[in-house]
Amino acid sequence: MLEVRDLRVGYGAAPALWDVNINVAAGELVCVVGPNGAGKTTLINALAGLNGATSGSIRLGGQDITRLASHLFCQAGIAIVPESRRLFTSMTVMENLELGSFLPGPRSHRARTLEQVCTLFPPVREKLNMPAGSLSGGQQQMVAIGRALMAQPKLLLLDEPSLGLAPSIVMDMFDAIRRINADGLSVLLVEQNVSMAMNLASRAYVLEEGRIVMEGDAKDLLQSPEVQKAYLGLD
């Protein structure tokens, strides 16, 4: 599904990612974890076409999309749920969701996909005609994920979906991500909550200072002394 090879990304003369290699198979849920400033958001934005690659390649379903214009990444089959949600807060929940199905293909199935989103997130159904900015943080995150699903992507990118949410809501959010993946959608999850992310994912990558320093089965990595000491505070 997704093949990232030797990806380098920089901001001007300042490099942010070095020779990153990542794979996500069809129907797989993979997580990328790491400390603040490791380059996780830079990576997810590069995979969504928002940060241009300095070198390396990004392939989706065998198609090289590295040099596509940013707006064509969605057409290629990638949808992103950005950090901090970034909804249009003065617009209604319905209007925000409809923006996700802007392209002709998803637009033709808008009613069916909307029903799927509302089934996944029942509180969204009750708030469709309300301004998105009037919703709680957890409800806004539901709308942000719903908006991405409205695009009917092949790959869903999630950037810190638990950020700023109450622990009980975080549990619900991760359960929703699990169900989305169980329905067959490939997911790449970037997350600081290492324990929850690795318990959810099948495979994991550890990103530090712009480089992949560990990778493998998520459950195995979670038990490694290095991860437990660095991210879980265990000796």
Could you tell me the residue ranges of all domains in the chain? Answer: 1-74+156-162+185-235, 78-152
Q: Which two tokens mark 209?
A: 């200072």
The residues pairing with 2 across neighbouring beta strands, listed in sequence order, are 24, 60
The class that CATH gives domain 1-74+156-162+185-235 is alpha beta
- Render pLDDT for 93-110 as a digit per residue (tens, 0 to 9): 999 999 999 999 999 999
Q: Which two tokens mark 228?
A: 């437990």
- Render pLDDT for 6-61 as a digit per residue (tens, 0 to 9): 999 999 889 999 999 999 999 999 999 998 899 999 999 999 999 999 999 999 99
The pLDDT of residue 195 is 92
d(CA 159, CA 82): 5
Q: Average the pLDDT over each of 16-20, 148-152, 171-175, 231-235 and give the range with the smallest value.
A: 231-235
Region of 175 please: left (phi>0), alpha (psi -120 to 50) or beta.
alpha
- Contact between 133 and 144 under an 8 Å Cβ cutoff? The reply is no
- Contact between 126 and 157 under an 8 Å Cβ cutoff? The reply is no
Query: How much is the mean pLDDT over the chain?
Result: 95
Q: What percent of the chain has pLDDT over 90?
A: 88
